[in-house]
Amino acid sequence: MATDDQLLLARTHLASARRVTILTGAGISADSGVPTFRGTDGLWRNFRAEDLATPDAFERDPHLVWEWYNWRREILATKTPNDAHHALVRLEERANDFHLITQNVDGLHRLAGSQNISELHGDIWKVRCTSCRVVIDNRDVPLALLPHCHTCGGLLRPHIVWFGEALDEQVLTDSVRAVESCDVMVIVGTSGLVYPAAMLMPAAQAHGAFVIEINLDPTPYSSDVALSLQGRAKDIVPLLL
């Protein structure tokens, strides 16, 4: 658990920072009851990632992939932001310059009220046409299988970045700029295993940022960051205010 001294140090750095950049992962939504990807209760546990979250998997068996996403949309539709999501909204309100980068596709940061967000891996509440590429909001739960585009009749897919796919260039550029220009970076609930998100922490550090990590367990970052705060996101993030 984070000590009072550690929390004081974190608050002091945040209070004097001109620019604050946050990177979140599945751990922040775990406190809302959303399963994480890895670990004992991870989403991958009963499925092989390469069976579901790749373009090849979708080509091979779009029905199976859509079933998995439908299942996740059903879970997410019942979830709401927790104290950590809300605390980040308050942090943004009082910061001079604030950028929230999330790997999560669940939309909970937006629901909480965060404004300046880069969604690195897309949005589960959007679908994209594999033919005409149109992207549309879709909150249907369940979604008809297989869903087709109203414009051109093409097969729709989740608007999500799968393994082996490039991230949106603008979103990645904005994120790199945000980490390279911040005074303080706070990383919440990510295993730090997936690239290119995993290179954002070293990029911030290389540009002189004070990096704070909040995680239930140690990660590859823990020994390198300036401050590693161990605990649940919903307990620790509000204490940064």
Residues tagged active-site: 121
Which of the listed partners (ligand BJW, Zn ion, none) does 151 bind, with a CB threshold of 5 to 8 Å by partner kind?
Zn ion
- Six-digit token pair at 110? 């937006």
- Six-digit token pair at 25? 């992962």
Cross-strand partners of 146: none
Closest CA to 18 of 241, 209, 237: 209
| Cα(88)–Cα(111) distance, integer angstroms | 12
The only residue of 10, 14, 23, 25 in contact with ligand BJW, by rule CB under 6 A: 25
| Residue for token pair 């949309």 | 73
Q: Which stretch binds Zn ion (CB under 5 A): 61-69, 108-116, 128-136, 199-207?
A: 128-136
Binding to ligand BJW by residue 1, rule CB under 6 A?
A: no
Please measure the distance between the N-terminal and C-terminal CA atoms of the chain and give it in whole angstroms. 17
In the shown chain, the binding pattern of residues 142 to 181 toward ligand BJW, with x for contact by CB under 6 A and - for none, equals: ------------------xxxxxxx---------------
* DSSP string covering 106-124: S-HHHHHT--SEEETTEEE
Nearest distance in Å: CB 145, Zn ion: 17
Closest CA to 58 of 103, 67, 136, 105: 67
Binders in 148-187 for Zn ion, by CB under 5 A: 149, 151-152, 154
Q: Which stretch binds ligand BJW (CB under 6 A): 129-137, 144-152, 183-191, 201-209?
A: 183-191
List of residues contacting ligand BJW (CB under 6 A): 25-27, 30-31, 36-39, 42, 53, 103, 105, 121, 160-166, 189-191, 193-196, 215-217, 219, 232-233
